[in-house]
Structure 1
């Protein structure tokens, strides 16, 4: 009896096998690698059927003209397990053999049919791995002192694949089988140490993004202290103010927009917010998908309502919302459905492109925070930030006079351009330990960046 399942990958409605990409998160969610060291335990197994057996019947069926594989296998199992209840699920998100605390063992009278797929490594210096998708298999299963027989079968339907789990339990009571399916759905949908990312019509647990978020800190966000405090208080007061909202008889929802030219702190501020709140963060990359933008919006807001209270991040609103989907989007954020607990944070580099129904209408996006090009004081703070970072490098001389000089020469620079000045300077210095070069190269890089901006007269 194994405590983790034989590797298997379920099929999504749009058949993700045809476009398999390396996950940015641990692979337990969709496929699990067999562990040959797992402990095997004894488990009573029902005697094999006197008939030809499920494998031969399935192969015969799969080799014939098929009408409905679901009906065939359901009827077959009912006839061969007359004293068992049968619960069938075609939910592609279900991963029964990976439920916490579950033990399994292949049925001896069922020949396992599976496909092997190579999963490329996340990094070039890693080995990658092999996943095995089950086409047909049967298993004895133990979970919470209950015994089950589980069959897993996959077959093509239209342009995609479907994977179904058939859960058999001795007796007519289906409650234990339903509980097992619910446990699988719950564990598969758990966010854990990840950020839920919606893209191509699918939710994925992005563990890498979560790790990046954990590196963020408000002290690394170079904005005025009052501005940072205002943003933090807005989010904190919302999540802590449910009772006040209800007492005032107003919906407990909030919408804000971070606006301004790129490279001025919107993204790093979002990461710092995500880290500082204890509530789940849901991040939307695009509404475009195989099921259409409106259904994607429905999926996004449906999941957000289930996870509420949560932070729903819609980056680049001007690209996400267009003439075709705007009406549906507005209905989702300000329609009849209950959006209690949703803090919706939208960003845009082009606020002027937003429809007035988004940018001006109260109760949709209540507050706008403008991330402008940094003024001189903020540029001084940012240069001092790099001065502190390089303080331990004895080969680099970074006097206070250079701080003032850089701040004066970079009027009109975004934080992204300021960062590029320092990064490109350090890259140029790599392998060279002549501290006299640092100031010279930094000022040269600033001059080059000034040419890219094409503005030598802006004073901020």
Structure 2
């Protein structure tokens, strides 16, 4: 494999034999007839990998430059320099990329499962380890040699742009990186040491609506006024000579509207959305926290979401986190929203001091009035079904029977009732009320059993709470389970692959080609 890799590296010199029709033209290349002799670059390259290798990036730069003595070589490891994706997403004919047949590529084929099982069986893609491309960009053309390898814990992808105009190559890097880093219709998610756009999460956020959030009217209005006024008040903050930043904490037991409220906020604000799954990196949490706030400052004004604060902020990383929030760096335009199911586990330095998290919003178990309002919400939701009878007198009965229920428990009562009755058509309208009350009774027993198990240390509710928290960004019922499993599988596969992924067999990239 090492010899193949080395041969592929040197085979770029042979690309001149395959001149493409316009808009592609090849720069002149050196004669490669003597490059495979003993002591030449091939032996040097193989020895580099056979021994304890260092500085692969410099090594590749040096030897590729030797193959193109009359050309400029522009090197980049910029992670947003993704010319194949840029060619696909940019306006028509902005950029066209063609893989060079004369360069022996190294690829690994992977099966990529669907994000959700019902979307199909997935696809097979190629991971590019080494390849050569020709890039046509406006009136410019470049040979591009790309190689990927691992240095320590890091996966490196290095592009070598070979052409006559170094400034043009740098402008291409700029335009491509600017386009690829300006992602719309996505939530930026930080996990495993780096940021990545999550389009599925953005789609889930778009389904949220304040109309579906049943909360105390004063609480809902207060939250809405808070974030809406923040983004409109930059000049007010400046006039008062205070930093234009704000921090909110949503707290309370699971299942009472924290996550759906976060989604409703994220859908409404017209600013970049950043979500942190973990601060952990292979170099420690300090690097992760620094990377998170650096991205937030770059994207400001923006919303930065830290769900499950009590898990994200630990004794070991708290000082670093507070330094980023309170330090000398400019956090203007940052709306920081944290949530926790366990406010008692938060350090007072986080929960009690303004200027870090300025307001705390409690999401307790719903009152009787809120429980009745939630039943009204479902009554309206089911009104389209003329066969299903949901009488007004059932509203008060539901509110009375669901004392201490969270919104999640009440939702489960309705969902389980409808699932049971779905198999009893056409007589389910007769049994809707009794079936709903029976499900409430079972959930009550389940809740009490869980509390007893939690008191005796045998799991129960604590385990259910952990499961709920772990899937809180999913959707309902089986779909939620499918997504939780699918995203975990995707994450593991993505971590294994890394590097540059392309559809199997695709040689040309660009819109309109």
Fold shared, TM-score > 0.5 on shorter chain: yes
Compute the displacement of 1:40 (Å): 7.7
What residue number does 2:33 align with?
Answer: 52
Q: Cα deviation per residue 1:363-393 (whole Å; 9 max; x = unaligned)?
A: 1111111111111111111000111111122
CA distance in 2, matches of 1:254, 1:104: 45
Of 202, 227, 234, 1:210 maps to: 202
Worse-matched range after superposition: 288-297 or 277-286: 288-297
CA distance in 2, matches of 1:314, 1:443: 37
Contact 1:289–1:296 at 8 Å: present in 2 too? yes
Of 118, 125, 138, 1:144 maps to: 138
Contact 1:167–1:177 at 8 Å: present in 2 too? yes
Compute the displacement of 1:420 (Å): 0.9
What residue number does 1:263 align with?
Answer: 255
Contact 1:54–1:110 at 8 Å: present in 2 too? no
Compute the displacement of 1:111 (Å): 2.2
What residue number does 1:440 align with?
Answer: 434
CA distance in 2, matches of 1:235, 1:374: 23
What residue number does 1:114 align with?
Answer: 107
What residue number does 2:459 align with?
Answer: none
Contact 2:35–2:41 at 8 Å: present in 1 too? yes
CA distance in 1, matches of 2:270, 2:62: 48
- 3-state SS, counterpart of residue 364 of structure 1: coil
| Pairs within 5 Å for 1:4-153 | 41=22, 43-52=24-33, 60-66=43-49, 67=53, 68-99=55-86, 100=90, 101-107=94-100, 109-125=102-118, 126-153=120-147
Compute the displacement of 1:272 (Å): 0.6
Contact 1:139–1:150 at 8 Å: present in 2 too? yes
Are 2:159 and 1:157 aligned?
no
Q: Cα deviation per residue 1:106-159 (whole Å; 9 max; x = unaligned)?
A: 345422232222211223341312222222222221113222221112234345
CA distance in 2, matches of 1:351, 1:273: 21
Contact 1:53–1:110 at 8 Å: present in 2 too? no
What residue number does 2:412 align with?
Answer: 420
CA distance in 2, matches of 1:108, 1:429: 61
- 3-state SS, counterpart of residue 47 of structure 2: coil
Of 282, 293, 304, 2:274 maps to: 282
CA RMSD after TM alignment = 2.3
Compute the displacement of 1:406 (Å): 0.6
What residue number does 2:482 align with?
Answer: none
Q: Cα deviation per residue 1:403-447 (whole Å; 9 max; x = unaligned)?
A: 111111111111111111111111111211222211111111111
What residue number does 2:464 align with?
Answer: none
Compute the displacement of 1:314 (Å): 0.6
Contact 1:148–1:169 at 8 Å: present in 2 too? yes
Are 2:217 and 1:234 aligned?
no
Q: Cα 1:61–1:183, aligned 2, differ >3 Å: closer, same or farther? A: farther
CA distance in 2, matches of 1:65, 1:80: 18
Q: Which has the higher contact order (CA 8 A, sep 6+)?
A: 2
Compute the displacement of 1:335 (Å): 1.0
CA distance in 2, matches of 1:279, 1:426: 38
Contact 1:374–1:414 at 8 Å: present in 2 too? yes
Under a length normalisation based on structure 1, what TM-score does the superposition of the two structures give? 0.85
What residue number does 1:34 align with?
Answer: none
Compute the displacement of 1:323 (Å): 0.9
> How many pairs does the alignment contain?
415
What residue number does 2:483 align with?
Answer: none
CA distance in 2, matches of 1:307, 1:70: 30
Q: Cα 1:250–1:65, aligned 2, differ >3 Å: closer, same or farther? A: closer
What residue number does 1:454 align with?
Answer: 448
Contact 1:305–1:339 at 8 Å: present in 2 too? yes
Q: Cα deviation per residue 1:348-369 (whole Å; 9 max; x = unaligned)?
A: 1111211111111121111111
Q: Cα deviation per residue 1:44-70 (whole Å; 9 max; x = unaligned)?
A: 224553223889987655533444433
What residue number does 1:370 align with?
Answer: 362
CA distance in 2, matches of 1:316, 1:159: 27
CA distance in 2, matches of 1:54, 1:96: 29
- 3-state SS, counterpart of residue 130 of structure 2: strand
What residue number does 2:243 align with?
Answer: 251
CA distance in 1, matches of 2:335, 2:155: 37
- 3-state SS, counterpart of residue 373 of structure 2: helix
Contact 1:107–1:140 at 8 Å: present in 2 too? yes
Contact 1:95–1:188 at 8 Å: present in 2 too? yes
Higher helix share: 2
